[in-house]
Amino acid sequence: MSARPIVVQTEDLDGECARWLAERADLERAPAGDGAALARLLKDAEGLVVRTYTRVDAALLARSPRLRVVGRAGVGLDNIDLKACRSRGVAVVYTPDANSSAVAELVFAALLDALRPRVYLDRPLALAGWSDLRRGLVAARQLEGLTLGVWGMGRIGKRVARIGAAMGMRVLFHDLVQIAPEHRWGATPVGADELCHAADVLTIHVDGRAGNRGLVGAGALGLLKKDVVLVNTSRGFVVDPAALAAFLRAHAEATAILDVHEPEPVAPDSPLLGLGNARLLPHVGAATRDAHGRMSWVVRDVWRVLCGEKPEFPA
């Protein structure tokens, strides 16, 4: 057995970060979904680095007798059983603010695509065609003056509120905890029902607790405006897909933009597939090189734990 600790990586890491860890530990790759390779490597692994699609639970820990630390390259810990890890004495580290800006940017990129569609010219146009094209691109609404509802005022929600306020939107939010005025960026706290009723744009940024499953179901959807733009970049299970599909079929003016789904990939029988006002993205909220790099530097905390040091970002 190597004198250096073995760390298993199951999903993509930034190349620089992977090389940094490989200089210090024996870094082994077991692609997510390759259960045989993972089981073989976990027998001797002291560290494990995962992202979204590796479930770290009691069953995995039972196959990992030497495991000391799990690094989650990302923000949410939905796929990590923290209780099971603590009971085994396995530290969990993560990157809590690594992708907040990237997700907030995606929210507004998607909103601008929905509200301000654009056409790029690849050939000269006669005056008549030019005029017709310009008339066809007159948007019914612009962000300034619309009411932005932020459901979940955590790290990402605060960034979204800040951007919305800067763009001249009236910003409301709902959260389970009190948010100090200096951290609201001018947003006004309201109840969940009022948020749904008032929002022209409703964007969801709640955490992965079990109580948020089906949070946006028939009840909440029934309070929304008929031309609402609904954005979910939090967790797929937060939105009831059947209820949302019924809402979108009944309100052709409404738009739903979903970057997260349950399951992933999107199931072939999803009721949202084929709806013209449902825009489904392949979970790309954190898909920037900067965010990927920040998430991948979880390897520093993995190494700190393996060296007996205190991690910077313990879960």
- Average pLDDT, 10 consecutive residues per value, the chain (315 residues): 87 96 97 86 97 94 97 94 97 96 98 95 96 95 98 97 98 96 95 98 95 97 98 98 98 98 96 98 96 97 98 97
pLDDT for res 2: 59
pLDDT for res 3: 84
How many whole angstroms separate alpha carbon 29 and alpha carbon 223? 48
Instruction: Quickly list H helices, 116-167.
Output: 127-136, 155-166
pLDDT for res 34: 82
**CB atoms closer than 10 angstroms to residue 84:** 16
Residue 244 token pair: 């949302």
The residues that bridge with 56 in the sheet, in sequence order, are: 80
Instruction: State the helix-helix crossing angle for 289-296 and 15-22, rounded to 10 degrees.
Output: 20
Contact 55, 77 (CB under 8 A): no
How many whole angstroms separate alpha carbon 76 and alpha carbon 74? 6
Give phi and psi for 273, each to the nearest 5: -65, 135
pLDDT for res 57: 97
Among 235, 261, 292, 304, the active-site one is 235
Domain spanning 101-280: which superfamily?
NAD(P)-binding Rossmann-like Domain (3.40.50.720)
How many whole angstroms separate alpha carbon 13 and alpha carbon 295? 8
* Residue 194 designated active-site: no
Helix (H) or strand (E) holding 198: helix 192-198
Mapped onto helix, strand or coil, the DSSP state of residue 59 is helix
Among 16, 23, 253, 264, the active-site one is 264
Instruction: State the helix-helix crossing angle for 155-166 and 100-115, rounded to 10 degrees.
Output: 40
Give phi and psi for 234, each to the nearest 5: -95, -85
Contact 205, 233 (CB under 8 A): yes
Residue 49 token pair: 């680095």
* Residue 264 designated active-site: yes
Task: Using alpha carbons, select from 67, 68, 70, 66 the residue that is nearest to residue 94.
Answer: 70
pLDDT for res 51: 93
Region(s) of the chain under CATH 3.40.50.720: 6-98+290-306, 101-280
* Residue 174 designated active-site: no
pLDDT for res 298: 98
pLDDT for res 288: 96
Residue 237 token pair: 């299970």
Q: What is the DSSP string of 162-191?
A: HHHHHTT-EEEEE-SS---GGGTTT-EE--
Task: Using alpha carbons, select from 211, 204, 249 the residue that is nearest to residue 231.
Answer: 204
- The β-bridge relationship of strands 170-174 and 147-151 is parallel
- CATH no. for 6-98+290-306: 3.40.50.720
Give phi and psi for 28, each to the nearest 5: -115, 145
Task: Using alpha carbons, select from 51, 230, 248 the residue that is nearest to residue 151.
Answer: 230
Contact 20, 42 (CB under 8 A): no
Among 63, 197, 283, 300, the active-site one is 283
pLDDT for res 32: 74
Please, is 246 exposed, middle or buried when counting C-beta atoms within 10 Å of its C-beta (0-12, 13-18, 19+)? middle
Q: What does R_g of the chain's alpha carbons equal in angstroms?
A: 22
